[in-house]
Structure 1
Amino acid sequence: MEARVRALETILTQKGLIDPQAIDAIVETYETKIGPRNGARVVAKAWAEPDFADWLRRDATEAIASLSYTGRQGEHMRAVFNDAQTHNLVVCTLCSCYPWSVLGLPPVWYKAPAYRSRAVIDPRGVLEEFGVTLSPDKKIRVWDSTAELRYLVIPERPAGTEGLDQAALADLVTRDAMIGTGLALAPEARP
């Protein structure tokens, strides 16, 4: 796939149809400014500031917008919080509705028909394939994103993070944790 992308970019560049620097700037923007780091900062703020977490529960769209994370496919948001009893999982069964402004570009598997159907039919099995094994008594709630409403999972805050600042907390939050196919990292796993 990588070789195909490079070949296509080379051909389009040679024909004068694209500017490689413009492509690099777009990719860099989605990876660092519009990517999952935005969502990780939202989660870290919710973990660190109970008032922000309450606002996020009541009106995720406004709470997230207060951090300037708005834009295409992130206009209407709802935050769902994992806790000791419930694990949340997000899917878009119809297509691939995904909050780009908070999570960046959607992963390929998120758009795949297998994930879109199996996440609803067998969420526990899908989570196990992602390496997430939950206790049998933990409820799994599946949320179906639509063009009108997209979801952000707020994972459980890992133990042993009480002394970490928001930047360090954000380092524990992965894109998959904010979709529900992963968990927040333990402090010792922090990069």
Structure 2
Amino acid sequence: MPHDDPDHPHSLLPPEPALRVKALETILTRKGLIDPAALDAIIDTYENKIGPRNGARVVARAWSDPAFKARLLEDATAVVSEMGYYGRQGEHMVALENTPEIHNMVVCTLCSCYPWPLLGIPPTWYKSDAYRARTVRAPRAVLADFGVVLPDEVAVQVWDSTAEIRYLVIPQRPAGTDGMAEEALMALVTRDSMIGTGLPLPPGDASQEAPG
């Protein structure tokens, strides 16, 4: 079939949902209802400024400041609001701390509730039916798909995000990071580690994967 041929012109087209979005954008632009430059600025803000760097800063500070972490675990909504991270899709936040005994991961089984002010735009896989269904039934298998294999003695706790409550996972601080500054620690925090489907980068690998 043509779509199975990588050399066929159609193979260069984006997937159907992206085509629909592009077609709608084109129509609205021609009617003068949207400004493409403004739209690009909004997308850039959510992808690169709002999140997931905001979440990475929260995690790095929790790693560095025990008093901050204690407050964050007690009332995440108030603490992240003080840092300027609040608004729609982030009104009610709960922080979950990974430990040597418990690994937390987040899913939204009904739709795709996600903490936009902290993590930015949700990844496509987070919204997929497969992730939403399989995470509840077989969380370890899902983690393995992401390359995360945990020891049997580590319990996996799945949290269902809703319109009322959204979650931020505080991953375990990587070994060998004592004395690192907050900015350096931020570079180790991946988006997936704050959802629970990934782990932070080890020191020295920060250049391989920026948050998001």
What TM-score, normalized by structure 2, do the two folds share? 0.86
Show CA shifts across 1:163-190 (max 9, x none).
2100110111111100000001111111
Show CA shifts across 1:83-131 (max 9, x none).
1111000011111111111111111111111111110100000000011
Give the equivalent residue in structure 2 for 1:74.
90
Number of aligned residue pairs: 191
Give the equivalent residue in structure 2 for 1:29.
45
Q: How does 1:96-107 map to 2 (within 5 A)?
A: 96-107=112-123
- Structure 1 stretches of at least 4 aligned residues deviating more than 4 Å after TM superposition: 5-8
**Residue segments in structure 1 that go unaligned for 5+ positions in a row:** none
Identity of aligned residues (%): 62
Worse overlay, 140-149 or 14-23: 14-23
Give the equivalent residue in structure 2 for 1:135.
151
CA distance, structure 1, for counterparts of residue 161 and residue 23 of structure 2 = 34
2:41 paired with 1:20: no
Show CA shifts across 1:70-89 (max 9, x none).
01011111100001111000
SS at match of 2:140: helix
SS at match of 2:204: helix
Give the equivalent residue in structure 2 for 1:173.
189
**Residue segments in structure 2 that go unaligned for 5+ positions in a row:** 1-13, 208-212
**Displacement of 1:29 after TM fit?**
1.1
Aligned Cα root-mean-square deviation (Å):
1.4
CA distance, structure 2, for counterparts of residue 25 and residue 107 of structure 1 = 19
Give the equivalent residue in structure 1 for 2:104.
88
CA distance, structure 2, for counterparts of residue 8 and residue 61 of structure 1 = 36
What TM-score, normalized by structure 1, do the two folds share? 0.95
CA distance, structure 2, for counterparts of residue 154 and residue 46 of structure 1 = 8
CA distance, structure 2, for counterparts of residue 190 and residue 106 of structure 1 = 21
SS at match of 1:84: coil
2:61 paired with 1:51: no
